[in-house]
Structure 1
């Protein structure tokens, strides 16, 4: 497995501790042991990142840095585990998830998520903890600072949690039909799964096609189910110069259906879409959109 390396700016972004403070801690307490490349550029490894995440968490919860510096790595970790088991501040939980990602610790990840689901529910755990966590490390994934194995590890665990949560929902009779899919080449599935969870939570029917759906498959399933809504998210595919044409083509092919779209390839552009296209700034806004649909339906009854 490729070893991950981090700059001091990476440590700052992941831990929330300013680079200037990290350097002081390094010099005064020897908390970090930076390595150097052949060209004498300083870098840090996974052990440094895990340590500084633990140190940051303890420090934010009232532990003096001098006290932390006198503890062994095992003692630091034990204190962090105790702390994250009794505290439920969102930042603390995000810290704990980040550590479990770096350590590839499925048991720790599962415990953090399960505890939060029991306390605040699945939806709020997604919105207040998992989404901010994914956003926090997303930039580092893109720049290669975080190992792809760590990305896949976390994404698959979140995906598993979503699938279990979706399976636990019951569709109401008389609910609307939503067909959810990702365009060909699009693999970023977590937000689509969360949309499926919210739709089922509200009692509506979900037909889920998932990642990289060929248009022929989309047409076939559409013809069978005749859904009221199509839902898709465009993060990487189709590309920015093709997305407007793609959406217009889909909206015309399924002109009697409302198309709900989101994703970074769609947002922030001056696209002009047909009337049957609704753009959501965040896919989590789908809950408010469904409530809007339901309110409109009730007012017309």
Structure 2
């Protein structure tokens, strides 16, 4: 079972810590535990409760009314809301609850409903990707445990692979080589990039997680792609990111290199002339739309 500080609850629920303390005192919504050194903390049940409370409150339920509801009544109202609401924040709240409860059936239902209503790409851009980004940061700070993160990542990965397989293999367009650096295992962003690139009629050579540099070079020489794309979430770390980008630029000087991820966005880095930083995964779509159309091969 995970433990959370009040700041963790604030980040996951969107409710200010001050407001949580007021609700705790006035309505006894939470019952914080204390460590042997008297530091307050919260558990999974507290987090699920606050996520449900936040969702109901955002949808017009007064906090006094919520406080008087049983746990089952809160859950029933939340299920009703997430089944009819298209608000992205509501759906992200629902997915977070599914993660905490390790509820695969409910997660799949929420995700499938969104895909049906919004389409796969918009669901990924507006619901799943913001959700995964938030969870990724919280995982690094220890607010989300590895089991929860892996549980969600694998379910999303399955959806992505099915969607990628549904794309028609292109015979024209540009050629992209997608990979993650050695030691980098966070694959969701690069899988989604694969989906977007293929959906725009371009070709993808996908190497996936933790690609050794020598293997990357061998594949590059074989296919000679116009573009390389990578996502740096945890590896290499920020202190080695500049050296890694410089080495990529020099080694693949004849290609355009696209990079994104936690270790490069907003960092004080100097990007070589053939390296472009994409601030968000949605920038890949915009970047592709700027590429000039290439005649299809016969």
> With structure 1 as the length reference, what TM-score do the two structures score?
0.91
Which residue of structure 2 aligns with residue 284 of structure 1? 282
Equivalent residues in 2 for 1:136-285 (5 A)?
136-267=134-265, 268-273=267-272, 275-285=273-283
Distance in 2, matches of 1:217 and 1:18, equals 48
4+ runs of 1 displaced by more than 6 Å? none
**1:13–1:234 distance in 2 versus 1, CA, 3 Å:** closer
Give the Å deviation of 1:253.
Answer: 2.7
Segment drifting more, 122-131 vs 262-271 = 262-271
Q: Please tell me the root mean square deviation across aligned C-alpha atoms, in Å.
A: 1.8
Structure 1: state its 5+ residue gaps: none
Q: What is the Cα deviation at residue 84 of structure 1?
A: 0.7
- How big is each residue's C-alpha offset from its partner over 1:96-148, in whole Å with a ceiling of 9 and x where there is no partner? 01100110111111111111111111111111111222233333222212222
1:294 to partner: Cα distance: 2.4
1:226 is displaced (CA, Å) by 2.1
**How far apart, CA to CA, are the structure 2 residues paired with 1:240 and 1:14?**
25
Correspondence list, 1:87-102, <5 A: 87-102=85-100
Verify the 8 A CA contact 2:135 2:149 in the aligned structure 1. Answer: no
- TM-score, normalised to structure 2, is 0.92
Q: 1:266 to 1:14 in 2, by over 3 A?
A: closer
The number of aligned residues is: 294
